[in-house]
Chain A
Amino acid sequence: MENNNTPCEGCRPGESTGRRRFLSQLSIGLSVLGGLVVSIPVLGAFLQPLLKKSMPSWRALGSVSDYEVGKTLLVRFEDGEVLSWARSISHSAAWLRRLDENSFEAFAINCAHLGCPVRWEESSSLFLCPCHGGVYYKNGEVAAGPPLRGLSRYSVRVRKGKVEILTRGIPITTLTS
């Protein structure tokens, strides 16, 4: 135990170190407390993307008969999370291909290399990326260029003659994917 009655440097006459230490710790402690309390809602806003997940939803893409077998078409649909002020920005797109009578496959438009939008070349049945020259076949497999994996897919289903696509996040290529 420290002697609370020893005189201290810079203290007023007769003041003890104990009082000085208490007042210092009180000031610092209260400042930290105030700061922490105010930070909570600010951190909430800052970290919102990690805390509030958007739910995937099925989006309608029109009738099955709108799509020709064997053709690949660009489809545009609303994201899972739609904010009223975002309008045209809350949309994603995918390359939809009708395989046969009742089955479809849909590819992300993002190149698996660095995410640039790939374009479909009908005549040569290839997806081409304008950024670093990634190329994919019609089934999404890598044909050439820097990508190490094929195009990501969306889930597609047919319900009562209508094609539906399940929204998802932009595919992010990680070290393990």
Chain B
Amino acid sequence: MKKKARKILNWLEDRTGLYALFRPAMNHLVPPGAKWFYVFGSATMFCLILQVVTGVGLSMLYQPSADTAYESLMYIQEQAVLGRWLRGIHYFGASGMILLMGIHMIRVYLMAVYKFPREMQWITGVVLLLLTVVMGFTGQLLRWDDTGVWSAVVAAEQLGRIPLIGKTISYFLLGGDTVGGHTLSRFYSYHVFVVPAMLLSFTAFHVYLVFRNGISEPPKRGRLVDSNTYRPWYKKMLQKKGVPFFPYAAWRDAVFGTAVVLVICMLAYFVGAPELSGKPDPSSISANPRPDWYLVWVFALFALMPPRIEDYFIAFGPLVLVGLLLALPFLSSRGERHPLRRPWAIIGVVVTVAVVVSLTLEGMRSPWSPRFDVKPLESRVIDSREASVVSGARLFYDKGCLYCHKIEKYGGERGPDLSQVGRRLKKDELVIRVVNGGHNMPAFGGSLSKKELAEIVDFLQSRK
């Protein structure tokens, strides 16, 4: 039996040469000491495979049509066999892919893997990062719920800031000058055919380059990269100390990759993908579009940035950022690789991570957004029986003041907390502020009667 199987395998190898094709990749020597730091790239790729497989599954249930996509998603979520789990894996797989790609990128940056002769590895990696973000964004849109539809509009507005051709590109993205029957079909094509084809090609290229140029050896202080001597030195080092990739390095990739896949499957099962936000409707005004977590920092940036420079930032910021990333291996392709000898690299990473994390946290809170769901103030908070104060408190809610101002624990955070405004401002000052607005506050003079104004001011004066 065993003999027969061997015979069949030998025949297959003789006619196809598949093992001979892949053997060099499996057996190629890798530097010793390439340990757990090196697992993030392969884990990112496992996530990609997970995305392809679960994507195929979802495509069997999904209707890529503007009118029915949302209903088919509801079907996947609520009725299809294990559909909720499948969609969950696709969501957490995407999240995992972006997170692990970020960690992988930070690792190769800190260890300066982008230096000679691995410049093209870094550059293909930057392309993969961009393609992955495009996949994430187009994928969020394919949910085709309220948020999905309005995210397309927000993306189109951002592209509109590109000089000269902005408007054309915006309408090109939407597939017309409004969100219509073409929009979803185009995004489906991008998400399922165009971008995956590029993503898979670049992944193959990226991995091929890793084999061609060899896995980078862990950096050592004082060991400089010199383009004249590096390649012969690397070859000699491998011959002396290298170990075959399979299984001596691959086992760590397998262990970590499997753990990642299992965690994703568990999160998908127990937590599940984000709820759908309601029927898609380009004419709805109740939508409150928010990006998925990995782009929340951009959302926060656009809210916090001074409006005057914002347009230029939207237009040129991404170009500068991508340009810098692509230029990195040419700005410094030789010399020291060890992070401790490149303190600015460490500082850069720490600052970038801190900025992105704090913007993300701020974006999730989004204190700049009016709170449309506030309730009228309770009498316990008003804490007064005076008629004008009580009706002033009611007006404070009715006129929408509470959307942006806090009274004790209630209300929005856009404007200042007014729990104790009576101590800070006198009656006249309050009147002037309410009537004229200012400092990012609209003028309410036109929409308040004299009596209403007096009551609101009475209420505010009683806040001490």
B283-306 with Cβ < 8 A to chain A: 283-289, 299, 302-303
Query: Chain B residue with minimal CB distance to A111?
Result: B157
> A118 CB to closest chain B CB, in angstroms?
7
**A128-B370, A131-B288, A133-B414 known; A172 vs B157 contact (CB < 8 Å):** yes
**A109-B283, A170-B177 known; A143 vs B443 contact (CB < 8 Å):** yes
Give the number of A-B contacts (CB < 8 Å).
Answer: 197
Bound together, the chains give a CA A126 to CA B372 distance in angstroms of 13
Q: Assess the A89–B280 pair: CB atoms within 8 A.
A: yes
Q: A16 an interface residue at 8 Å Cβ cutoff?
A: no
Name the 3 nearest CB pairs between A and B, nearest first: A169-B177, A86-B181, A83-B181
Bound together, the chains give a CA A81 to CA B404 distance in angstroms of 39
> B40 CB to closest chain A CB, in angstroms?
33
Bound together, the chains give a CA A92 to CA B174 distance in angstroms of 14
**A109-B285, A123-B398, A124-B447 known; A90 vs B172 contact (CB < 8 Å):** no
Choice from A74, A80, A132 contacting B302 with Cβ under 8 Å: A132
Listed A/B pairs (8) with beta-carbon separation below 8 Å: A86-B67, A89-B281, A115-B150, A118-B285, A131-B289, A170-B153, A170-B156, A172-B170
**A54-B177, A148-B307 known; A172 vs B163 contact (CB < 8 Å):** no
Q: Assess the B288–A168 pair: CB atoms within 8 A.
A: no
A17-47 with Cβ < 8 A to chain B: 47
Q: B282 an interface residue at 8 Å Cβ cutoff?
A: yes
Interfacial chain B residues near A115, Cβ < 8 Å = 150, 153-154, 156-157
Spot the interface stretch: B121-129, B310-318, B349-357. B310-318
Q: A87 an interface residue at 8 Å Cβ cutoff?
A: yes
Query: Chain B residue with minimal CB distance to A169?
Result: B177
Choice from A49, A87, A148, A173 contacting B157 with Cβ under 8 Å: A173
Interfacial chain B residues near A123, Cβ < 8 Å = 398-400, 447
Most chain A beta-carbon contacts within 10 A, residue among B171, B174, B177, B183: B177
Q: A161 an interface residue at 8 Å Cβ cutoff?
A: no
Q: B222 an interface residue at 8 Å Cβ cutoff?
A: no
> A15 CB to closest chain B CB, in angstroms?
31
**A85-B67, A125-B447, A131-B289 known; A114 vs B158 contact (CB < 8 Å):** yes
**A169-B177, A172-B160 known; A135 vs B442 contact (CB < 8 Å):** yes
Choice from A50, A128, A170 contacting B403 with Cβ under 8 Å: A128
Interfacial chain A residues near B404, Cβ < 8 Å = 133
Known: A76-B283, A88-B280. 5 other contacts (CB 8 A): A49-B182, A81-B180, A88-B67, A119-B285, A130-B287
**A130-B372, A148-B307 known; A89 vs B443 contact (CB < 8 Å):** no
Query: Chain A residue with minimal CB distance to B308?
Result: A148
> B213 CB to closest chain A CB, in angstroms?
29
Contact with A along B438-455 (1 / 0, CB 8 A): 001111101100000000
Q: B167 an interface residue at 8 Å Cβ cutoff?
A: yes
Q: Assess the B307–A143 pair: CB atoms within 8 A.
A: no
Choice from B160, B442, B443, B444 contacting A173 with Cβ under 8 Å: B160
Interface size class of B (residues with CB under 8 A): 35 or more
> B201 CB to closest chain A CB, in angstroms?
17
Q: A174 an interface residue at 8 Å Cβ cutoff?
A: yes
Bound together, the chains give a CA A172 to CA B67 distance in angstroms of 25
Bound together, the chains give a CA A141 to CA B403 distance in angstroms of 20
Q: A137 an interface residue at 8 Å Cβ cutoff?
A: yes
Q: B205 an interface residue at 8 Å Cβ cutoff?
A: no
Q: B161 an interface residue at 8 Å Cβ cutoff?
A: yes
Q: Assess the B156–A92 pair: CB atoms within 8 A.
A: no
Interfacial chain B residues near A76, Cβ < 8 Å = 283
Q: Assess the A110–B182 pair: CB atoms within 8 A.
A: no
Interface size class of A (residues with CB under 8 A): 35 or more
Bound together, the chains give a CA A11 to CA B154 distance in angstroms of 60
Q: A79 an interface residue at 8 Å Cβ cutoff?
A: yes
Q: Assess the B150–A116 pair: CB atoms within 8 A.
A: yes
Interfacial chain A residues near B401, Cβ < 8 Å = 124
Q: B227 an interface residue at 8 Å Cβ cutoff?
A: no
Interfacial chain B residues near A90, Cβ < 8 Å = 178, 180-181
Bound together, the chains give a CA A91 to CA B167 distance in angstroms of 20
Interfacial chain A residues near B345, Cβ < 8 Å = none
Query: Chain A residue with minimal CB distance to B163?
Result: A175
B243-281 with Cβ < 8 A to chain A: 279-281
Choice from A93, A125, A174 contacting B282 with Cβ under 8 Å: A93
Q: Assess the B444–A174 pair: CB atoms within 8 A.
A: no
Q: Assess the A170–B179 pair: CB atoms within 8 A.
A: yes
Q: B10 an interface residue at 8 Å Cβ cutoff?
A: no
Q: Assess the A133–B66 pair: CB atoms within 8 A.
A: no
> A82 CB to closest chain B CB, in angstroms?
8
Query: Chain B residue with minimal CB distance to A90?
Result: B180
Interfacial chain B residues near A126, Cβ < 8 Å = 400, 442, 447
A69-121 with Cβ < 8 A to chain B: 74, 76, 79-81, 83, 85-93, 109-110, 113-121
Q: A144 an interface residue at 8 Å Cβ cutoff?
A: yes
Bound together, the chains give a CA A132 to CA B363 distance in angstroms of 10
Interfacial chain A residues near B315, Cβ < 8 Å = 175
